[in-house]
Structure 1
């Protein structure tokens, strides 16, 4: 795992036998599992522990474009980029690579929930600043 910027998070995956479908390549649903893992790891890596415990994230929408298949024992890198936070929603772009080859591109929208009430909640400005430092400098 490496990190270029605060908004970007990389998650390394080695394709396992359980990821392979009857076509002999990684099942489409596995790509979404990787996206979810990377987005949530990004959140838990940066959010203070008390804030992380007080919030949950649920996916609202995924738009995925499959470019090339992945196969057993491939090493893939799942790179998520937090594009923006708007109210209780977070917008991510995820690119899944095997070497220089793009396997899939995913646009996703996530909703932040209060962990007790399970209702949507916007993140406090100081937390937004951790994830998107330029957003904290905007008036508003």
Structure 2
């Protein structure tokens, strides 16, 4: 199982804001994108969610920016699930600049598992729950 998912990419020019570094909103987009990539890699994809009649929605995001990222920077983006409860999950993220492994940002998203029909929280199906491994605080990168 992919407990900690790694995604490496180069920061594109269009990710920059007027200050010349990666825009804050871009980090949230990257969080969503890498969460989907990790989920898909585990077999937890839109086909499965359609079959189960469920989906995940973001309840909250928290981001701590530690150092700016710039166009052309090579980034290692890590993500993992730190808890799975009855109808929610906490996913964490860490951005590292590849060349020196400096932490650029750390973040987390509280995801809620909901019925696609009602939009209300529901119990995470075992079929979904069993695809994810929890990374304890002691094992976080």
- TM bucket normalised to smaller: 0.7 to 0.9
CA deviation string 1:25-49 (max 9, x = no partner): 1011111111111112212222166
Matched, 1:115 2:112: no
The higher relative CO (CA closer than 8 Å, separation ≥ 6) is in 2
Closer/same/farther in 2, CA of residues 70 and 109 from structure 1, 3 Å limit: same
SS of equivalent to 1:76: strand
CA contact (8 A) 1:11 1:78 kept: yes
Distance 1:16 1:69 in 2: 14
Structure 1: segments with no counterpart, 5+ residues? 135-140
What TM-score do you get using the length of structure 2 for normalisation? 0.81
For residues 108 and 48 of structure 1, do their structure 2 counterparts lie closer, same or farther at Cα, with a shift above 3 Å needed?
closer
TM-score normalised by the chain length of structure 1: 0.82
2:138 matched residue in structure 1: none
Deviating beyond 4 angstroms after TM superposition, the runs of 4 or more aligned structure 1 residues are none
Number of corresponding residues: 130
Query: RMSD of the alignment, in Å?
Result: 2.0
